[in-house]
Amino acid sequence: MSSIQRPISEPESSAPGLATRVPSSQAHHKAHRRLLQGSHAGKDTLFGYTANVRTQKESSAAGLALLFTTLLGWSSVPLFLKYFTFDIHDAWTTNGWRYGMSALFWAPLLIVEGARGRLPNQLWRAALVPALFNLLAQICFAWAPYMINPGLLAFLLRLQIVFIAFGAYALFPPERPLLRTSKYLAGVGVVFAGMVGLIFLGEKKPHGATATGVALGIAAGLLYGAYFLAVRHFVRGINSAVAFGAISLYTAMGLIPLMLIWGEDHGMVAWKLPASTFALLFVSAMTGIAITHATYYSAIARLGLAFCASIILLQPFIVSVGSFFLFHERLTVAQWCSGLFAMFGAALMIDTQRRRMADVQKDLLGTQDMGGFPANAVLGRATVLEPD
């Protein structure tokens, strides 16, 4: 999953990467209250816009459509990757072609913004570390379907939420009070317990290639968690679409040479694929890497982080159902229960974060100066990142 959230601690001006500060005033605090009431729809008076009930309803409907488009797109990725294992015998080739296609999708945006002089000076340096973690995560993620089925893989990737929590504790001191709460820690424990059940309560204990696949799934979750934390740390203040475009380009620059070195027939085997399979390779690149990242950002802007992150937790269940019909994957009853248990823990973590954010926002509304930023822009970070 891989996803970059717009750095909402710095509202965008008309030029990406630039921030506009607004002095404190009575209108400023009214704008805060609107934001807390959920008027992400649109356009709020804080940024020179107006909002009304009709636009809020329309925006919410559009947000739901965007969110479920994202959910279905991301749910399709593990299924696509498993399908490709029958015709493409190595993940180097799959990765090289999919990220190459994604880079071509994002390149025009970077070229246009660069020609207009609107690319932040620090963009390429800031995107380097996140791209490295994304590259390593993508390698693990794409190799795992050669050894385990998509449903189990999709559940294993949810461990990223725990890795992100531990990483945030180490890297972001202001978040440590949240991570020390009993409810949040209980959520972490429930996720771990559910994952143990998923791994060991199947028809057979993991061994051989299956054990390697499980390890790759866990490693992918850890690395995607590191990727998310690197994005928060290094890419702050940069427009999300521009930042992801740069990261996608860097990732492609790493994966394509690996394909040329180790891919079957140096990756040229893709030209021998049936036209329908090659078309699906392109579709998977768009749904998993390109288009759905944009739809997810838009959904977050309209519906809020916590709601979107909670809905995305349905992804492993959709993947498992699809895998049952497409690849005859059968999770045991104990594995299904373990998966539900793990997702309950993840939802508990997200809800704890949401409630703490709401409490802090109320405190901030009582202050006289918040540096010109809305209260919900000071905290708010998504805790679920989708691999692509």
Query: What is the per-residue DSSP string for 160-181?
Result: HHHHHHHHHHHH-GGGHHHHHS
- How far, in Å, CA of 130 to CA of 244, rounded? 10
Answer yes or no: are the C-beta atoms of 59 and 38 closer than 8 Å.
Answer: no
| Coil, strand or helix at 12 | strand
Kindly report, residue by residue over 309-351, the tens digit of the pLDDT: 888 899 999 999 999 999 999 999 999 999 999 999 999 998 8
The alpha carbon dihedral of 184, 189, 193, 195 has a sign of positive
Check residue 125 and report its DSSP letter: H
- Residue 74: what pLDDT? 92
The alpha carbon dihedral of 323, 325, 327, 331 has a sign of positive
How many Cα atoms within 13 Å fall on the side-chain side of residue 168? 23
pLDDT tier at 55, thresholds 50, 70, 90: low
- How far, in Å, CA of 368 to CA of 366, rounded? 7
Q: Which amino acid is at 133?
A: F
Kindly report, residue by residue over 259-278, the tens digit of the pLDDT: 999 999 999 999 999 999 99
Answer yes or no: are the C-beta atoms of 367 and 348 closer than 8 Å.
Answer: no
| Coil, strand or helix at 19 | strand
Whole-structure pTM value: 0.79
Answer yes or no: are the C-beta atoms of 255 and 93 closer than 8 Å.
Answer: no
Lowest mean pLDDT among 291-300, 333-342, 369-378: 369-378
